[in-house]
Amino acid sequence: MPTISEFYGILIRMYFNDHEPAHFHARYGEFEATIDVESLEVQEGELPRRALDLVVAWAEVHKQELRDNWERCREKQSPRKVDPLI
């Protein structure tokens, strides 16, 4: 599973040929959540509130890049890196 971004100890990843709907995985320490690209809601798992707030803020800025990377992964192409939250 390629890591497409990393910030504040949070890893953002996407699987190749993963199930719909479009989503990404955010990992922070022992916590992990699957987050829908469109709604930015947690589909599965959990993150501490502060980490989730950072992930959602980052994803709002990079939503189109996340959509593009989702399509790349569906086509078994490597996703592109996405700038971290600064």
Closest CA to 85 of 2, 4, 7: 7
Q: What is the pLDDT of residues 13-68, one digit of tens each?
A: 998 878 899 999 999 999 999 999 999 999 999 999 999 999 999 999 999 999 99
What are the angstrom distances between the C-alpha of 14 and each of 4, 60, 66?
A: 7, 17, 9
Query: Alpha-carbon distance 6 to 55, whole Å?
Result: 10
Residue 1 has pLDDT above 90, yes or no: no
> Which residue's structure tokens are 């490597």?
78
- Per-domain residue ranges of the chain: 3-74
Q: How confident is the model at residue 51, as a pLDDT?
A: 98
| 11-34 as b/e: b if 16+ CB within 10 A | ebbbeeebeeebbbbbbbeeeebb
